[in-house]
Structure 1
Amino acid sequence: MKSIILILMVLGPFASLAQPPIETINQFMDNWHKAAATADEKVFFGSMTEDGVYLGTDKTEKWTRDEMAEWANEYFQKESAWSFTPTERDIYFSEDGKTAWLNEKLDTWMGVCKGTAVLVLKENGWKIALYDLSVTIDNDKIDNFLELTNNDD
């Protein structure tokens, strides 16, 4: 009996979950990326909070969930909207277990990208409140990159 109490104390808010929280988040994020790859608009945007924000790679891209859904509608009418495959992911949790944040490395058509997310635990499961996608640039190529972008506003 003592060991069960100790396990519940260690797991805290995660004690009632069917699988460990890191596995839950990994599966949730993998499903979210798969939804884009298979053009499943309902799962992709349904995985975000109503006030969720998506920051894209373009300096002008700051979308609310609904704005992004409108913009991306034409992409989700195809077999695949876009395909980002996670190759690494680090996940962290707040003390109360109701907020998670992560960073991930992604294999994409743009090369290696990084994603950062903030997730909140709702009554119906985890939801993405913020996702920030960024293109990576090797340090030895940054001067060339800056030269390309110096004339941009």
Structure 2
Amino acid sequence: MKKLLAAPFLTLGLALSLALNYTCTCAQVVDERSMLTEKVARFIDEWHDDAAHARLSYFDKMAKEGVYIGTDQTERWTRDEFKAWAKRFFERPTAWAFKSFNRHISFSEDGRWIWFDEQLHTQMGICQASGVIQQTAQRLEIMYYQLSLTVPNELTDYLAAGVKKLDEKKAEQKAAPMP
């Protein structure tokens, strides 16, 4: 009889133990994800702050093969190309000042790959950007960053027509024979 009564209590005890272990494991995963999210947010904020103070460490946060895409259709650089292009800006006290006010961060299950999007206050007005970061054993490094101007839908047709007109003018200039 004692054995019959003990079985349900043992089963209940085992179930509670598993449930508590599962809860702890889930809490640990949530905590690790939260810590990684905070680490990445600080890293991106520091990167923007490096530019705001014209610190060359800005480029050190990018992977050697990292890519930066700017707002102009001609602006696609590797890290070293970008550094050469931006040299004149980093000779001043401030290069550019981007301040994130809305950011979303996601990452792979193993935390090695991180992707994010953000909205920024900039000298150009509100911009949007997206990026990919790789977490290596040594550090975080930006693999890809794309900056975009925001365009209200009401202005899309107007701006698209202006861009088309400018592109046509450039094409005509290229096609015109040199005197």
TM-score (norm 2): 0.76
Corresponding residue for residue 130 of structure 2: 116
Q: For 2:37 and 2:124, how far apart are their aligned partners in 1?
A: 27
CA shift, 1:95, in A, is 1.3
Partner AA of 1:133 in structure 2 = L
Q: For 1:76 and 1:98, how far apart are their aligned partners in 2?
A: 30
- TM alignment of 1:21-32, pairs within 5 A: 21-32=36-47
* Higher RCO (C-alpha under 8 Å, 6+ residues apart): 1
Corresponding residue for residue 35 of structure 1: 50
Runs of 4+ in 1 over 3 A off after TM superposition: 1-5
Q: For 2:29 and 2:49, how far apart are their aligned partners in 1?
A: 32
- Paired residue secondary structure (1:152): helix
CA shift, 1:3, in A, is 7.4
Find out whether 1:64 has 2:81 as its counterpart. no
Corresponding residue for residue 45 of structure 1: 59
Partner AA of 1:77 in structure 2 = E
CA shift, 1:10, in A, is 2.5
Q: Is the alpha carbon distance of 1:70 and 1:128 closer, same or farther for their aligned partners in structure 2, counting shifts above 3 Å?
A: same
CA shift, 1:122, in A, is 1.4
What CA RMSD, in Å, does the superposition of the two structures yield over aligned residues? 2.1
Find out whether 1:98 has 2:117 as its counterpart. no
Q: Is the alpha carbon distance of 1:9 and 1:69 closer, same or farther for their aligned partners in structure 2, counting shifts above 3 Å?
A: same
Corresponding residue for residue 10 of structure 1: 29
Q: For 1:143 and 1:120, how far apart are their aligned partners in 2?
A: 37
Find out whether 1:107 has 2:121 as its counterpart. yes
**How many residues of Structure 1 are paired with residues of Structure 2 in the alignment?**
148
Partner AA of 2:51 in structure 1 = A
CA shift, 1:147, in A, is 2.2
CA shift, 1:148, in A, is 1.2
